[in-house]
């Protein structure tokens, strides 16, 4: 079976067709979750699922599942999938690639009139990006029981809309039981969204783990004053405090080394004038590590720094938790199989860590899970310039095909 190849041109064409929905003037894809554009994208892909003869179910959080029945439907199915919502300035591949490659696996099996023992399920998870509703990875989180449905349906969008009402409005609040498919295994194919595969000239990443994420927003309140007339010793400079935190985060990553990364990507000063000491600063701190203990150490070190900075500068610093996910270790045996199939297909490959969050990290709570990465040119993502070479897209889908079909023909549940 591993020598069978998916139909590359068909996959590429479907990716472009989907990318045309919600296309902006700057050539970005804008299909924010549960907007009219998201509905159009869902309708298109559900249509393709039906064309493939798949049976469709939609659950109350709007996750869509297309099923290609196996010859032994009593066995737990093999699942793949991802998301088709985008950020405001999204690219063509983030999420969409994983969903459409899943359909391409089904289409290839259909073309060859090949059965599998287990059913194959292709999932489309609601609001993975978190660009309209927080938190991100919401559909898969609710699917695995990580958030009560009622709580999720009540979430307000950045535009004020309520998630449950938007689901109804676009006709995607279904009645299938949450978690209806308890998979034998879950495999998600995704562009890397980072620079490592591209920089090293490697075609396939066999993802063995996913970074833990710690996001907080810090609000620093100092005292506004004249930049010329206020002696340094009398300052309570919220802007300086913000910059000291940013440089501390950089120093911390240097001291800790390893996988620790840290970013201050958002800074807003008030009043933000050349000759006025800032009264207030709001910044975000993004810390990530593959090791939960090290991530906690980083949070702890930051916390201690904030206390001493608060005292030395005479400012108050308050923290609001925006997100916290523990690192996820994927199923080692499954990651091995991905590497094996890449090897068998003559594709260079490496074990790697996912720096971004994905629906797979939620699915890992309920079944053996791993991910396949393909290169992102220049590591660019969440950007109209997001690009993966067509050959690499096809290669990744072939690895997915080999991995899924092998899993779907495993007789016993693990």
Footprint of a copy of itself (CB under 8 A)? 192-196, 199, 211, 213, 215, 217, 224-232, 234, 237, 239-240, 242-247, 250, 253-254, 261-269, 272-278, 284, 286, 288, 322, 354-357, 379-383
Smaller CB separation from a copy of itself, 126 or 361: 361
Nearest distance from residue 253's CB to a copy of itself, in Å? 5
Classified as helix, coil or strand, 99 is: helix
Smaller CB separation from a copy of itself, 215 or 297: 215
Nearest distance from residue 185's CB to a copy of itself, in Å? 24
Structural contact between residues 272 and 278, judged by C-beta atoms closer than 8 angstroms: yes
Classified as helix, coil or strand, 230 is: coil
Classified as helix, coil or strand, 78 is: strand
Smaller CB separation from a copy of itself, 197 or 393: 197
Nearest to 206 by CA among 333, 48, 77: 333
Nearest distance from residue 172's CB to a copy of itself, in Å? 27
Nearest distance from residue 226's CB to a copy of itself, in Å? 5
Smaller CB separation from a copy of itself, 153 or 197: 197
Smaller CB separation from a copy of itself, 56 or 380: 380
List phi, psi (to 5°) of 379: 70, 10
Nearest distance from residue 202's CB to a copy of itself, in Å? 14
Nearest distance from residue 308's CB to a copy of itself, in Å? 15
* CA gap 349, 327 in Å, rounded: 23
**To which residue do tokens 């737990």 refer?**
76
Smaller CB separation from a copy of itself, 257 or 346: 257
SS3 readout for 141-185: HHHCCCCCHHHHHCCECCCCCEHHHHHHHCCCCCCCCCCCCCCCE
Chain centroid, CA 351 distance in Å = 18
């Amino acid at each position: 079976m591993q020598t069978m190849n998916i139909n590359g041109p068909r996959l590429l064409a479907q990716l472009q067709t989907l990318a045309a929905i919600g296309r902006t003037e700057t050539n970005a894809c804008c299909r924010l979750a549960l907007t009219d554009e998201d509905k159009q994208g869902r309708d298109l892909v559900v249509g393709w699922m039906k064309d493939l003869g798949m049976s469709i179910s939609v659950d109350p959080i709007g996750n869509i599942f297309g099923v290609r029945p196996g010859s032994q439907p009593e066995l737990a199915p093999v699942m793949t999938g991802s998301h088709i919502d985008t950020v405001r300035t999204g690219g063509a591949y983030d999420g969409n690639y994983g969903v459409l490659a899943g359909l391409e696996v089904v289409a290839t099996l259909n073309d060859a009139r090949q059965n599998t023992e287990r059913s194959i399920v292709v999932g489309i998870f609601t609001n993975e990006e978190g660009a309209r509703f927080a938190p991100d990875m919401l559909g898969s989180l609710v699917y695995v029981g990580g958030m009560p449905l009622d709580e999720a349906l009540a979430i307000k969008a950045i535009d004020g809309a309520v998630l449950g009402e938007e689901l109804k409005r676009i006709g995607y609040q279904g009645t299938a039981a949450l978690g209806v498919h308890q998979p034998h295994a879950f495999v998600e194919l995704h562009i890397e969204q980072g620079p490592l595969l591209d920089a090293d000239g490697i075609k396939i990443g066999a993802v063995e783990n996913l970074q833990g994420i710690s996001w907080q927003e810090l609000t620093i309140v100092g005292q506004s004053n004249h930049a010329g007339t206020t002696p340094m010793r009398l300052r309570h400079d919220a802007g300086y405090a913000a910059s000291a935190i940013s440089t501390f985060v950089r120093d911390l990553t240097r001291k800790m080394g390893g996988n620790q990364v840290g970013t201050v990507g958002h800074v807003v000063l008030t009043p933000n004038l050349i000759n006025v000491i800032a009264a207030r600063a709001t910044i975000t701190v993004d810390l990530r590590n593959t090791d939960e203990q090290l991530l906690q150490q980083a949070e702890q070190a930051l916390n201690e720094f904030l206390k001493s900075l608060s005292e030395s500068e005479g400012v108050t610093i308050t923290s609001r938790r925006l997100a916290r996910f523990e690192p996820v270790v994927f199923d080692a045996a499954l990651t091995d199989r991905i590497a094996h199939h890449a090897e068998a297909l003559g594709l260079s490959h490496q074990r790697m860590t996912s720096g971004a969050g994905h629906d797979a990290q939620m699915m890992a709570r309920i079944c053996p899970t791993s991910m396949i990465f393909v290169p992102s040119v220049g590591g660019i993502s969440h950007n109209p310039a997001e690009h993966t070479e067509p050959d690499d897209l096809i290669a990744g889908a072939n690895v997915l095909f080999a991995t899924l079909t092998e899993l779907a023909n495993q007789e016993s549940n693990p």
